[in-house]
Amino acid sequence: MTFGEKLKEARKAEKMTQEQLADILSVSRQAITKWESDKGIPDVENLKLISQALSVSIDYLLDDGNKLDMSVIREPINLDDYKSLNATGKNRWFKWDKLRDEVVRKRFPKAEIYMLMHKQIMTKKEKKIGVFLWLTTPFANMMEFIQSLQNTDKWFYLVEENEKQYLATVTKDFIEVRRLARQASHKQGDKFDVGNFEFTVQTLLR
């Protein structure tokens, strides 16, 4: 059985709807649907919550003959290491673009690295709030706008190395790397989900 099949079976065994599980995890029902159809996989924290909510082990959910290393590695960044790329004044943001790319290149010098756009997937509760705001205020899509302001200090990359894929997150303080449970397409414009985020593949770093 695949991860999605096991998740669906365990949810039904607990007589729980997708909406109920989504509320427990604070994710959208759409996210549950994607996980159960093997079009995405939860992040580590949501896997722990699923394990508790459905009374199944994480090992059971992931054991399909190819055990997954779910470790997440976070390493601090010393900006002085990239001083030659740093700058002040009007070119600062351009230079920071180059710097964060270089952080990933230094961590994965032999890998193929793709830039990602990200969008946070709204939970059922957030969607209801969004509809309420749309009906009662002159500001359409207010929740999407609020979410667009979140995580603006993070940049995401899809990394391919030795037939494995990783999601790399870069801020001005650290780089976080996690192994992807399912292979994602690296074709420009293709999308994949990890946890509460939907990612769109952009260009290959040169």
Q: Per the confidence metrics, is the pTM higher than 0.75?
A: no
pLDDT tens-place values along the chain, 206 residues long: 888 999 999 999 999 999 999 999 988 899 899 999 988 888 888 888 998 899 888 888 887 643 444 567 888 888 777 665 555 554 454 466 778 898 999 999 999 999 999 888 765 555 555 444 555 555 545 545 444 555 678 899 999 998 889 999 999 889 999 888 778 899 999 998 887 788 999 999 87
Q: Which pair of structure tokens corresponds to residue 11?
A: 């949810």
For strand 72-76 and strand 112-120, is the pairing parallel, antiparallel, or unpaired? unpaired
Query: Which amino acid is present at 123?
Result: T
Q: 3-62 adopts what CATH topology?
A: 434 Repressor (Amino-terminal Domain) (1.10.260)
Sequence ranges of the domains in the chain: 3-62, 72-204
Q: What are phi and psi of 118, to 5 degrees?
A: -130, 150
- H-run or E-run covering 103: helix 92-107
First to last CA, the chain: 39
User: What angle, 0 to 180 degrees and rounded to 10, lies between the N-to-C axes of helices 124-136 and 142-149?
Assistant: 120
